[in-house]
Amino acid sequence: MSRVEPDLSALAFSRHDHDRCTATALHQAEAQAARDGLRLTPVRRRALEILLEAHRAMGAYEVLDRLAAEGFGRQPPVAYRALDFLVSHGLAHRIQRLNAYVACLHPAEPHAPVFLICRACEAVAEAPGARVRAALEAGAAAVGFTVERASVEAVGLCPTCSAAG
Amino acid sequence: MSRVEPDLSALAFSRHDHDRCTATALHQAEAQAARDGLRLTPVRRRALEILLEAHRAMGAYEVLDRLAAEGFGRQPPVAYRALDFLVSHGLAHRIQRLNAYVACLHPAEPHAPVFLICRACEAVAEAPGARVRAALEAGAAAVGFTVERASVEAVGLCPTCSAAG
DNA sequence: GCTTGACTGTTACGATATAACACATGATAT
DNA sequence: ATATCATGTGTTATATCGTAACAGTCAAGC
């Protein structure tokens, strides 16, 4: 059994080299684009960078403001299209609960995202979801339902905020 | 170990006596209201009935239209407040993915809802979620995260639509 | 009867998202 | 080389979803 789902789960909750994880994710995105013939155009790339730098979930309009400030279009579709592109290619994820988007920190790995959302500091971490998925699919299969996509989102307290009281 | 989570999961996907399951759920809601001192007022009760009769996820504005047609207020807060009441007391659930609400068919049972959403017929079923929750909490605990609330929503094909091709 | 608190209704607005169309650009076919 | 086409970017306009703030109602308890 290969290590398909490395434990990067606590990343958003722990101290780490921000610039480095951003650079790595961007590098992986570029590699994937080159490999799959995706067009990581300026807006799309910049949108991904914005999400990576923020390192948290951002609303579409928030991303749009940043893009507009840098000379890109200032109308909603500009942001929504870039974000949709990123999401549809696994470079970012949509957090349903927050109507927001987060960059994926390990797009190269196949993974079934499970999100842990801290209600205090708003950090969003991606936890290993293989087991949750397995349980979900088993339950669905039992009633004849075929799962195509799933979103698993938990709201609670991250270690830091939990310790802070 | 008592049977805390009976298999009502396939209910929305299978033929059954609609009127009867609606009446049962409504009866349970009333019992709960009486027991806990909740005020199941006319708007709230009617909103619940509307969701029960529809037996699918409905948007707040859709519920509002029905309420307004029956003489209740026609402004958004009317529907949102009734729905918030139902959700906060476990009589209905919010489906994040659809920005919509479904009546809970077994409010009396303690349960951790897992939703199966058919992309073809839009039916929404509540599946047993105990195992999924256990896996989710275990994964979260491993990184020091405390889960308070979670939403698990799967999009796919229900048995009927799956069979239909 | 008066106060109080919960509920319902309103107006007004904010936040999120998409449809539809114009234009640019680069690849492909002629 | 140029016509065609697909893809992407930008726009305007509008749809959809959700909430803040305040006025009126009404029943419970003093």
CB B31 within 8 A of CB B8: no
Q: Is A4 inside a domain boundary?
A: no
Q: Is residue A92 part of a domain?
A: yes
Q: Per-residue b/e over B139-163, b at no fewer than 16 CB within 10 Å?
A: bbeebbbbbeebbbbbbbbbbebee
Confidence of residue A10 (pLDDT cuts 50, 70, 90): low
CATH code, domain carrying B25 = 1.10.10.10
Is residue A135 in a domain?
Answer: yes
Do the strands B114-118 and B146-157 form a parallel or antiparallel pair, or are they unpaired? parallel
A109 in a structural domain: yes
User: pLDDT 10s per residue in chain B (165 long)?
Assistant: 444 444 444 566 777 777 888 999 999 999 999 999 999 999 999 999 999 999 899 999 999 999 999 999 999 999 999 999 999 999 999 999 999 999 999 888 777 889 999 998 888 999 888 999 999 999 999 999 999 999 999 999 999 999 987
Give the nearest chain B residue to A134 (CA atoms). B132
Q: Which domain holds residue B72?
A: 11-163
- Count other C-beta atoms under 10 Å from residue A127's C-beta: 25
Question: For the segment B126-136, what is each residue's pLDDT rounded down to a tens digit?
Answer: 988 899 999 99
Of these ranges, A14-28, A132-146, B8-22, the one predicted with the greatest mean pLDDT is A132-146
A28 located within any domain: yes
- If phi > 0 it is left, if psi is from -120 to 50 it is alpha, else beta; for residue A99 that is left
Using the Cβ of A6 and the Cβ atoms of chain B, whether some distance falls under 8 Å is answered with no
Specify if B2 maps to a domain.
no
Q: Do B159 and A149 touch (CB under 8 A)?
A: no
pLDDT at A150 over 90: yes
Q: Among residues 69-128 of chain B, which lie with CB inside 8 Å of chain A?
A: 96-97, 114, 116, 118-119, 125, 127-128
Instruction: Report the C-alpha gap between A141 and A73 in whole angstroms.
Output: 45
Residue B3 lies in a domain: no
Mention every residue, 6+ apart, whose C-beta is less than 8 A from residue B124. B12, B56, B57, B95, B98, B102, B115, B116, B117, B118
In chain B, the number of structural domains is: 1
β-strand partners of B153: A151, B115
pLDDT given at position B10: 52
Indicate whether B93 belongs to any domain: yes
| More confidently predicted of B71 and A17 | B71
Q: What is the pLDDT of residue B11?
A: 62
